[in-house]
Amino acid sequence: MRFSLLSLLIFPASSASLSPPPTLTKLSLYDFPSARCLDGSPGAYYVAPSLSDSRKFVFSLQGGGECTGLEDCKDRTKGDLGSSDHLASTMDISGQRFLSQDEDENPFWFDATHVRVMYCSGDLFSGNGSINEDIGVFFSGAKIIDAVVKEVSKDWEGGEVVLWTGESAGGIGAMMSVDRVAKSLSNSTVVAAPVAGFYWPTLSEYHGEGASEIDYPFFPEDWVEMAKTWSSVLPSNKCARAVDVPETCLTAHINTPFVESDIFFVESQTDSVQLSLHNGIGDEPDGSVPTQTDYVLEWTANMTSFIKSHLSTGEGGGRRVGTFNPSCYTHTSFSADKPLIDGRHYAQAFYQWYFNGDAEAMQDTCDEGVFHCNPTC
């Protein structure tokens, strides 16, 4: 549901001055004992307060893949993807998509309070706070989300508007948690805008010329194993009851029909990480390998048709679903400069969709047999 801009326009905004760098806050394990990183250190987030006394908030979930095994997860504890012990006291968020304080790059949200939720749980922000005895690490991503939202919103009076976003693993996490967050912030308006977070259970892997090894397969049975390892909090009981493999509700394509919040997908038609890391196509496709080209074309057709199948105008008071879906071989590289569709970048497209009611889909259409056709990539 869209909100009235009038209630927010009474708060003056200026892009002339920038907020100080976001400062680190570590969650209290006394208050939130289950909100831990892989190594048991407290979950953490950075905050850049609004300079305009705005009731606008952007929560952005950091990306960074996932871990499922002992060696993989233990390795992550050596850096900030597995421990808050290594985090700096401040963070540079310039150019960080919906966290940018540049009005041209980030219309409407540039002067919001910006909250960057750090990804140190390795579980796509899905874990329920349990320690996995077999691996010896905590999987607490869902608990970290809940704790950060509770702490940041403790003094809210109602009427706030929240952009719930994240990139890659953070985009996946944003999609599976948005309704839970919206329910906890029932007096506020919440809209999701995941970046590079539209995934689905793998239909087929690429095994032709130039294929690469797949370290993180995403077939339905793999989602079952990952959810078991992480003790994942599934995003929707409705989804879990409606599908054959409830754990696949952790993916946006399976879960979206059951999400009640408004959603705007920022997603490349040829997502480079999904194609290489999870589907095995190897090096960037250039059209010179017929089997690879055929696979990428089919995968791209699935991406565009799957997203299109979820688009909704919200007619009759329901939720709205829109997208910025360029034909580019990229993952999270969305900026004010590129890619563009009809002269607009991703944040402008979101603004026009959400506030002005523009078309649900900004999707490139390539000629038959062509992918990666956007000239601004």
Domain ranges of the chain: 6-363
Q: What is the pLDDT of residue 314?
A: 83
Bigger pLDDT: 327 vs 105: 327
**Per-residue pLDDT reduced to its tens digit, 13-64:** 444 456 678 899 999 999 999 999 999 999 999 999 997 868 999 999 999 9
Bridging pattern class, strands 113-117 and 189-195: unpaired
**Per-residue pLDDT reduced to its tens digit, 66-102:** 998 888 999 999 999 999 998 999 988 776 789 998 8
Q: What is the pLDDT of residue 54?
A: 81
Distance between alpha carbon 374 and the CA centroid of its chain, in Å? 23
**Per-residue pLDDT reduced to its tens digit, 154-168:** 999 889 999 999 999
Q: What is the pLDDT of residue 356?
A: 85
**Per-residue pLDDT reduced to its tens digit, 340-377:** 999 999 999 999 999 888 778 899 999 988 999 999 99
Please report which confidence band the pLDDT of residue 3 belongs to, taking 50, 70 and 90 as the band edges: very low
Q: How far apart are CA 300 and CA 249, in angstroms?
A: 21
Bigger pLDDT: 227 vs 101: 227
Q: What is the pLDDT of residue 236?
A: 77
Percentage helix, strand, coil for the chain under 3-state DSSP, each rounded to 5: 30, 15, 55
Q: How far apart are CA 334 and CA 83, in angstroms?
A: 27
Is the confidence at residue 116, as pLDDT, over 70?
A: yes
> E strands of 203-273, at which residues?
262-266, 270-271
**Per-residue pLDDT reduced to its tens digit, 182-196:** 999 999 999 999 999
Q: What is the pLDDT of residue 270?
A: 96
Decide: 329 and 296 in contact? Cβ < 8 Å.
no
Q: What is the pLDDT of residue 11?
A: 40
Q: How far apart are CA 199 and CA 321, in angstroms?
A: 16
Q: What is the pLDDT of residue 359?
A: 76
Q: What is the pTM of this model?
A: 0.94
CATH for 6-363? 3.40.50
**Weakest mean pLDDT among 139-143, 309-313, 325-329:** 309-313
Q: What is the pLDDT of residue 81?
A: 97
Task: Return mean pLDDT, the chain.
Answer: 91
Q: Which residues of 189-221 are buried (b: 16+ CB within 10 A; e: fewer)?
A: bbbbbbbbbbbbbbeeebeeeebeebeebbbbe
